[in-house]
Structure 1
Amino acid sequence: MPQVGSAHGGEPGLLTRVVEKVFRFVRLAEFEILFVLFFLIAFILFKDLMSRPQYNSIFVKKPDLDDRWP
């Protein structure tokens, strides 16, 4: 008995093959993807933290205005 709704006689469609290849790639490169995402998120958080003036003043000492020495 032929399958109902199968245009290619059991061969998966293009979308199914693309999705399977994407899932296969994600399974293969899972550690590398998580590694890059970790550093990307850490960079964004650190950049946001360092852009605030109250945290930036810890690392950059502002000169005293009443000091006579340059």
Structure 2
Amino acid sequence: MRQQRGRGVGRGDPGLLTRAVEKVFRLVRLAEFEILFVLFFLIAFVLFKDLMSRPEYNSIFVKKPDLDGRWPGLM
């Protein structure tokens, strides 16, 4: 019987795809805190931007107080 040449399944060295995936996982484990930190601020920015774009929240900044000399809310 002839011996097969080339890379066998049972060999000790992993393939190129396996090594690439392991390097990506190693990078994610190394930079886990930084990735979560950036994601937190990105999500907070999107939520804040969404809240501030609504007209009812925007009218707080442009509404002028009563000019009759009284403080708002006091009788």
Please tell me the TM-score bracket, short chain as reference.
Answer: 0.7 to 0.9
Identity %: 83
| One-letter amino acid of the counterpart of residue 16, structure 1 | T
Shift of 1:7: 5.8
What is the rounded CA distance, in whole Å, between the counterparts of 1:8 and 1:58 in structure 2? 69
2:63 aligned to 54, 61, 64, which one? 61
The separation in 1 between residues aligned to 2:47 and 2:23, in whole angstroms, is 33
Root mean square deviation, CA, Å: 2.5
Q: How does 1:35-46 map to 2 (within 5 A)?
A: 35-46=37-48
Normalising by structure 2, we get a TM-score of 0.68
In our comparison, the structure showing a higher alpha carbon Rg is 2
- What is the deviation of 1:60? 2.5
TM-score, with structure 1 as normaliser? 0.72
Long gaps (5+) in structure 2: 1-6, 65-75
**Count of matched residue positions in the alignment of Structure 1 and Structure 2:** 60
> Partners in 1 of 2:62 and 2:20 — Cα distance?
52
